[in-house]
A and B are shown apart, each in its own frame.
Chain A
């Protein structure tokens, strides 16, 4: 009965068994009260009531990883929310950036935050990076039936500081939980596809992001987001609401202050 190995999912399953209730996290479409998945003959707009987050970017810099995201969340072609925060710290060494179904993603983020802390507190040692990556794979794989039914599909990018290598690392996932490590940068969301080539261009002309300073990389990231907003209607851009920017390095997870971002946006616009 007791979950002495620090597995948070196990603890929640026990809670479900005791209370007879099902948490949204563990509900599959079959047992949830949500309407049946749309068939091909039904309106193609049926699943689009779901709110989606758009563009997130992860760039390495010397000693860590920077994450930048716009603030827009959309449902079909309506802008639902322009203060969405899609870059969230999971613990003192890990950041997650979310693109796709916002509601489901936030639930999973809440789960992961608890899972990492539950492990560290109960086992008296932090969960290893490999363990954390595996945990993300596990929740994505569990979410696959929902994603296939057309609701709750999201793609995370995980950025971590790796003390063994004294550097940042970036991992991205597909909807089935497959994990890929990317050497220098990563992006997800509707705007990300359009700017893929720009990353390459910057890295090839100015040098790898991982070799450059945080200040330089932050400027590139904001510029990339601005380009994504120009090419993708669902991406909020940098003018109306300032984007979110967080980074992780040896010291922990930090937020780039608003004043710094405002100055940067102004200098990009002035130039």
Chain B
């Protein structure tokens, strides 16, 4: 039977389709610590945490090609602006708010294009931890700033649980070591909650178990932007052998 085109129904179907595909994504935990800002996630294939500009990095869940499109658009905009104006004018609110969000919204609302299957977390480094910024960018173009820490995961319920855990457990200005150990548990909580919906709490032991399982097949990936460094580039990935040390206490 031929049904008339219903705008609202169409958007709901698209949103449902995207949410189903995001659900299996590996969560990303961002925490601002004393000497920098970090993004933690796991990967099975390609890289997951990306340097965008001098003080900006990105990690996302979703379709690899869509993440790649978003990443390239962000890098292009940042470098264009950084050269034509100045590096100080490249800010996360400009990159997300003006360069990316409208394009996502357009693709999401246009029935003739495939929407982006993506949920992205941006982290912007400042001179003090309390001024660091996170931006969560959604597939429909909506974006939300956050301070101190931020989580993206397969479901909103999973994000809420991990966020609640970090809000209670995270000291005001953690060290990198402390931030990493809390991020590992938060990752486990978010992952477990996304896979088993309708859970109100996830015990820490179960979260660790989930992470240990994941690391049988996947690798941990942690990207840092360092506040004080002698290096020209503030961004670096923590090398695998160093990550092994942090995982011993898991």
Contact = CB atoms under 8 A, between A and B. Distances in A.
Interface string A193-225: 000000000000000000000000000000000
A121 B51 contact: yes
A91 interface: yes
Interface string A101-124: 000000000110010011001101
B231 interface: yes
How many of chain A's residues touch chain B, expressed as a range?
20 to 34
Given A92-B231, A121-B52, A11 B47 contact: no
Most-contacted residue by chain A among B47, B76, B82 (CB, 10 A): B76
Contacts of B75: 118, 121-122
Most-contacted residue by chain B among A12, A111, A118 (CB, 10 A): A118
A191 interface: no
Interface in A81-106: 89, 91-92
B199 to A, nearest CB: 36
B50 interface: yes
Interface in A1-39: 2-4, 8, 11-12, 15, 23
Contact of A11 (B50, B80, B232): B80
B76 A110 contact: no
A8 B79 contact: yes
Contacts of A91: 232-233
A252 B82 CA distance: 23
A254 interface: yes
B92 to A, nearest CB: 15
Contacts of B230: 252, 254
Most-contacted residue by chain B among A12, A117, A253 (CB, 10 A): A117
Given A12-B84, A121-B53, 9 more contacts: A3-B76, A4-B72, A11-B79, A92-B232, A110-B83, A111-B83, A114-B79, A121-B51, A122-B72
Interface of A: 2-4, 8, 11-12, 15, 23, 89, 91-92, 110-111, 114, 117-118, 121-122, 124, 252-254
24 contacts: A3-B76, A8-B79, A12-B83, A12-B84, A15-B80, A15-B84, A23-B84, A92-B231, A92-B233, A117-B54, A118-B75, A118-B79, A121-B52, A121-B53, A121-B75, A121-B79, A122-B72, A122-B75, A124-B47, A124-B50, A252-B230, A252-B231, A253-B232, A254-B230
